[in-house]
A and B are shown apart, each in its own frame.
Chain A
Amino acid sequence: MSEDFAAKRAGMAHGWLVRPWHERSTQVFLFSVCAALALVTMLHLALPAGHPLHVSAYTVNLLGKYLCYALLAVALDLVWGYLGVLSLGHGAFFALGGYAMGMYLMRGIGERGVYGNPELPDFMVFLNWDRLPWYWHGFDMFWFALVMALLVPGLLAFAFGYFAFRSRVSGVYLSIITQALTFALMLAFLRNEMGFGGNNGLTDFRELLGFDLRQGSTRLGLFIASGVALMFGYLVCRALICSRLGRVGVAVRDASNRVRFLGYRVERVQLYVFVVSAMLAGLAGALYVPQVGIINPNEFSPLFSIELVVWVALGGRATLYGAVIGALVVNYAKTWLTSAMPDAWLFVLGGLFVAATLLLPQGIAGLLAQLRRRKSAKRDEDREALT
């Protein structure tokens, strides 16, 4: 109780806005992620391989992958939960970030490729190209690839959002257009002529910043980096939501016409938040690719994009931490089911879509909140009974 009050008072200094790190929920979230990171690192490093609680390098890698997905889900929740824009094409931003990082890793292979060409990646040699395409220049530098991983999705989101929001495309129309966008990109990236490896994508990566990607320590590092990125992304989203802009965004979600009549430029609010979200998705993709070792046009498929919507829907919209829970739960279930019962996975995924919308409109986060309310109501009752 008193902490809540303190948080409110800290926020008072800026009018009705609250700084994210003063929020109790943010503190809990950051603490849990840190604790989880520390726990996994400890279990991985301190315990011998045979110990029942030992976390293998494979699991660390898997968890790192999940954390990237969680960041992607947070990015989607930002636009869907707080802006009312259901993007069915967020996988495209994720994949673009992934391709940017993949290009850096591809250049990093150098002479160790099958054809031993120091300049050209293997697939270009295979296609008989004699020169690097112009858009591949600069990707031998890590910082450039990282900037591109943020910039390219951001630019695409800006160009797309500029046109879409300006002409007030909203709701289902926007969803379908975003789906068409990622579908078109998938078709484009499937072409060999695009210069991104076509169907096979980019793979056979060796090292990142000089660290061997196949080593356990590199994977642990990437896992921790993903966790840090998730916390960073969460903080960015929270800060955005708590700002004036975020408040307007929520108002746009609930009644965009009224907001427009009040004199706000709705399309600018939407565009700003959309671009931030796309950049976060790009960051997630950039961290994802070195961990799975491949990026191909599959990430662009509409199915992947809509699958990540179900993570958010199941976890609970407009909570951010719900998106994280959803991403972890669904992906854990996917990993487990696709190895145990490969046929059942699509049934489960389909069922999740239906169940999440029909039975759990608030998601797991809503369920948790309900439980908490019930508990506190009971406590109040108890207190009243005592007095």
Chain B
Amino acid sequence: MKLFPLPLFASSGARLFALLGLCACLMVVILGQQAHAQSPDDAALLESLGTGSFNDKSEAINSVAASGTPRAGEWLEAMLDGRLQLAGDGTLVIVASTSGRSLEARAALDGAPMGTIERRELKRIPINNALRVQLRGAIATLDLSAEDPAVRRAAAAGLFGRVDDDLVSLIEARLEGEEDESVRAALERALALPRLERGDVTAIEALRGSQDNAVRLALTRAAQSGDAQMAAAAQQALGEIERRAEINRWLQQLFFGLSMGSVLVLAAIGLAITFGVMGVINMAHGELIMLGAYTTWMLQQWLPGQPGLAVLLAIPAGFLVSALVGIVLERGVIRYLKGRPLETLLATFGVSLILQQLVRTMISPQNRSVVTPEWMSGSVMVIDGLSLTLNRLYVMLFAALVFLALLAVMRATRLGLEVRAVTQNRAMARAMGIRASRVDLLTFALGSGVAGLAGVALSQLTNVGPSMGQNYIIDSFMVVVFGGVGNLWGTLVAGLSLGIVNQWLEPWVGAVLAKIAVLVFIILFIQKRPRGLFPQKGRAAEG
């Protein structure tokens, strides 16, 4: 039996590589052209900023803002802060800060670093209050004149809540000339708040469904105003905002539930293989998870300053460490207890105690914290008012990948075939020439390795400590039993739904009671369907 169609992989990989290379070439060409295009005009524009009367400068600012040169924003900001300064030789430079005797400077024209320049050799470009107002407006609306509609849209969205009276006319002028629908909508929204303050009822239309606190405040104020028509419209808009907020809260909870569920799935999926498929009760499963988490921590200690790399390396390393411990466990203990599940349970529980104590004495009884790499911290705003934390998203993605990989291994590889054969009819499988004990070993190693992967993922969400595995072992068994033994899909469904139910119950009854409720529910559920959500069918089920 052939495993994966490897040649196809290789060729598509090569194609991908070629495509990437092509993209890179194109980028270089485009960037080069841009660099080329800027010079002559830009020099004149820059020159005009630094010279002449305030009136001349005012005109210069307008022409810089209208020119669309990529450095315009930098220049105008520097000018506003007083960081745009005239050097002794007549060129304009931008200094990093205005305090100190010698200032770090770079050329304003192309951004080339110029080292440090003595302060007395520099002259600040003077501006007055009118110019300051003009500069702020120009900076805020600068990107509104960009070529790319996406940039314009982002700039317009960024204006929201920052529009003061000076900007209103500027933006309204932009709105006239804007053609892109989405940018227009964003600009309308940006203008709506000041318009509302002025008592413009039509502005409310643009604010519908916004989750911004400023909008809510403004609308609440408007709803209490004397104008009946205004008050009614604002009230209606507020109701809509509330509804949207409700949906957002609901989505947020769903997300947390899914995240918790995917952690459960990760923790339980290894067990679904060792317990579900092989029928081996491994109470040390939680400790294999813990070992995976400690591997991540260990790698971060060895690679200081590169937490991201360490986490990536921890994925194979955690798998290997836990798989190796699993192999030792299988060869040393479990093999001798075949067909005696209760004894296996006890022996592996003993092993779990030993592993815990081993970590306690060799590393520390205290919790260790694993650094979350930069690209995994923070959150992304999905829609207005709903942001999801990145590390949870990554863990969900990781859980999905692990699940799919396992499914592929069980369905499409020789090992998977042999595992299924041995679980269905051990004697017959052996008669067909399958080395059952070797299959046992490999399956157990696979399940243990997946536990290690779960540990790597968990290290990004919770503290890493010697007893962290214990928190997951009962839950994991519950998930496997709930989903139906020997069924990976069942584990997925059970894990996700338990996570969601738990998260949904928590705000009502508190974390502890939610947990108890879930446990009681499963106990009752087992009464009704002792073989789980998706029971195995056929002769294998009778055991």
Contacts and interface: CB of A to CB of B under 8 A. Distances in A.
Contact of A177 (B344, B346, B354, B526): B526
Interface string A302-331: 100010011001000000000000000000
B353 A346 contact: yes
B439 to A, nearest CB: 21
B519 interface: yes
B336 to A, nearest CB: 6
B516 interface: yes
Contacts of B352: 350
B477 A176 contact: yes
Contacts, number: 113
A129 interface: no
Interface in B456-477: 474, 477
Given A343-B360, A343-B361, A167 B519 contact: no
A354 B350 contact: yes
B474 A171 contact: no
Interface string B481-494: 10000000000000
Interface residues of B, number: 39
A171 B275 CA distance: 13
A175 B473 CA distance: 13
Contacts of A168: 530
A350 B350 contact: yes
Given A177-B523, A183-B519, A184-B519, A191 B512 contact: yes
A358 B333 contact: yes
A190 interface: yes
A190 B353 CA distance: 23
Nearest to B342: A86
Given A183-B474, A358-B336, A172 B342 contact: yes
B339 to A, nearest CB: 12
B530 A167 contact: yes
Given A176-B477, A191-B512, A313 B346 contact: yes
A191 B511 CA distance: 11
Please classify the interface of chain A as helix (H, G, I), strand (E, B), loop, or mixed, using the class held by over half of its residues. helix
A357 B340 CA distance: 10
Contacts of A188: 512-513, 516
A211 interface: no
Contacts of A313: 346
Interface string B334-370: 0011000111111101111110111011000000000
27 contacts: A86-B342, A86-B345, A164-B523, A167-B526, A169-B527, A169-B530, A171-B341, A172-B345, A173-B526, A175-B345, A176-B481, A180-B477, A180-B522, A184-B516, A184-B520, A188-B516, A190-B512, A306-B349, A310-B350, A343-B357, A343-B360, A349-B353, A350-B349, A352-B350, A353-B353, A357-B344, A361-B343
Given A181-B519, A309-B346, A357-B337, 18 more contacts: A163-B524, A166-B527, A168-B530, A169-B527, A169-B530, A172-B341, A180-B522, A184-B520, A346-B353, A346-B356, A347-B354, A350-B349, A351-B350, A351-B354, A353-B346, A353-B347, A357-B344, A358-B347
Interface of A: 86, 160, 163-164, 166-169, 171-173, 175-177, 179-181, 183-184, 187-188, 190-191, 302, 306, 309-310, 313, 343, 346-347, 349-354, 356-358, 361
Interface of B: 281, 333, 336-337, 341-347, 349-354, 356-358, 360-361, 474, 477-478, 481, 512-513, 515-516, 519-520, 522-524, 526-528, 530
